[in-house]
Amino acid sequence: MKASSHDPKVPQSELGDLLRYWRDMRGVSQLDLSLEAGVSQRQISFIESGRSVPGRDTLLTLAQTLDVPLRERNALLLAAGYAPVYSEAPWNAHEMHSVIAALERVDRQHEPFPAIVMDRHWNVLMTNDAAPRFFDCFIDMASRKSPRNMLHLIFDPQGMRPFVADWDTVSRRTICRWFYSALNSDRTGDEPYAREASANSKTRAASRRTFPITMER
């Protein structure tokens, strides 16, 4: 495919930096990306160096091949001078009403067992009635500040951590899950709770030779 002559609204190097970032995150070489996406290695090199800007379809193909999150695909499009195509409406926006209603129904159907809906930073968005009753059996949830964050709740010594059986396995797998989520999140930085949980767990686990983290999918 030929590169577009489209004049981006932002410096071309930003697009190149973004594409290189996601390629590095996925551990993919320019050649591998070229073969998977059907885009010449020369064009990928030119995009990353800021020498050319791809057409919109080509850019979306590269993003799809790299499994770039939809939010970050918008960032790639903007960096190339194109309008974003994916909605970034808040979870409780009016247009999300049908989705929220479906989630509330799923939560209710889990009764009498606890069910929780979280955002990508593990902040609790909604629960069914059983969830607070369950956690109140161990800690005083009313004393926890909002927004409540599940990573903080799990790893906090004043939270659920003392009540978790087989802590080493649970903490390692939880951090692995968070780590994988972080790889598929944006580049604005991790939530403070996630950084705290990760740092504390890695430090403790390293002394027992249970880390480095391995990906469990």
The encoded tokens of residue 60 equal: 């979306």
User: Which residues 6+ apart lie within 8 Å of 102 measured at CB?
Assistant: none
The reported pLDDT for the residue numbered 186 is 53
User: Which residues 6+ apart lie within 8 Å of 203 measured at CB?
Assistant: none
The reported pLDDT for the residue numbered 119 is 86
Ranges of H-type helices in the chain: 12-26, 30-37, 41-49, 56-65, 70-79, 97-109, 130-136, 150-155, 167-183, 192-207
Q: Are 118 and 50 in contact (CB under 8 A)?
A: no
Task: Say what the alpha-carbon torsion angle 156, 158, 159, 161 is, to the nearest 10 degrees.
Answer: 70
The residues spanned by each domain of the chain are: 12-79, 113-207
Tens of pLDDT, residue by residue, the chain (217 residues) = 444 444 444 444 689 999 998 999 888 999 999 999 999 999 999 999 999 999 999 999 999 999 888 888 999 999 999 999 887 777 778 878 898 999 999 999 999 999 999 988 888 999 999 999 999 999 998 888 888 899 899 999 999 999 999 999 998 888 888 876 666 655 544 445 445 544 544 434 433 333 333 333 3
The reported pLDDT for the residue numbered 196 is 52
- Give the single-character DSSP code of 164: -
pTM: 0.58
The reported pLDDT for the residue numbered 210 is 35
CA 99 to chain centroid: 20
Which architecture characterizes domain 12-79 according to CATH?
Orthogonal Bundle (1.10)
